[in-house]
Amino acid sequence: MTNPTLPSAVFAADTYVSGMLAGGCLAAGAVLTLLGTWQRTIVKGLVAKGKRTTATAVQSKLHTPAPDGSTHHVVWRFQTEDGTFIEHEGLADALHHPAEHDTARVIYDPEDPHNARLSTFAERTLAWALFFYAGITLLAVGVIALVVAAIVS
């Protein structure tokens, strides 16, 4: 495709940029879609075979300091069927800022109790859905950029 008023280098640059955009979006989209699918599989497995119990928000010194320099922050502690206490750092605690002694339902894998999720929308669905749908969106943008690159070249 040529335009008598524009130099051909402009179209070559457009094709190069479109091709780079397509490749980057396709690669990132594939990785994010696979991450989302993997996380969904983990959550579905937990829901199907996991044990449910109540967790309590507690102060913990076991984690890295907060940006303000404090060394305590809230984690969720629950007890497994065999009496072992497990601390679980919520994936989305920044969304609702639990206070010490708050309670929440938790689902954990009896074979690996550290594989646990709060039984909330944020941890059961939002965690995998953000990766998955961002990946699908990037894949679509990549395909569109590929088509544009093919048309322009």
pLDDT band at 9 (very low <50, low <70, confident <90, very high): very low
Inside any domain, residue 123: yes
pLDDT band at 89 (very low <50, low <70, confident <90, very high): confident
**Could you tell me which residue, 84 or 7, shows the higher pLDDT?**
84
Inside any domain, residue 121: yes
Contacts 24+ apart (CB under 8 A), 120-128: 120/92, 122/91, 122/92, 122/95, 122/96, 123/43, 123/90, 123/91, 123/92, 124/43, 124/47, 125/43, 126/92, 127/39, 127/43, 127/91, 127/92, 128/36, 128/37, 128/39, 128/40, 128/42, 128/43
Report how far apart the first and last C-alpha atoms of the chain are (Å, whole number).
Answer: 7
Say how many domains are in the chain: 1
pTM across the whole model: 0.69
Span 92-136, pLDDT tens digits: 655 567 778 889 999 999 999 998 988 888 888 887 999 999 999
Q: Provide the residue range defining the domain that includes 44.
A: 8-152
Half-sphere CA count of 60, side-chain side, radius 13 A: 17
Inside any domain, residue 3: no
Span 18-57, pLDDT tens digits: 778 888 999 999 999 999 999 999 999 999 999 999 999 8
At 148 the pLDDT is 79
Inside any domain, residue 53: yes
Inside any domain, residue 1: no
Inside any domain, residue 37: yes
At 88 the pLDDT is 85
At 136 the pLDDT is 97
Inside any domain, residue 118: yes
Mean pLDDT to the nearest integer, 4-30? 70
Inside any domain, residue 2: no
Q: Which residue has the tokens 């989305």?
A: 92
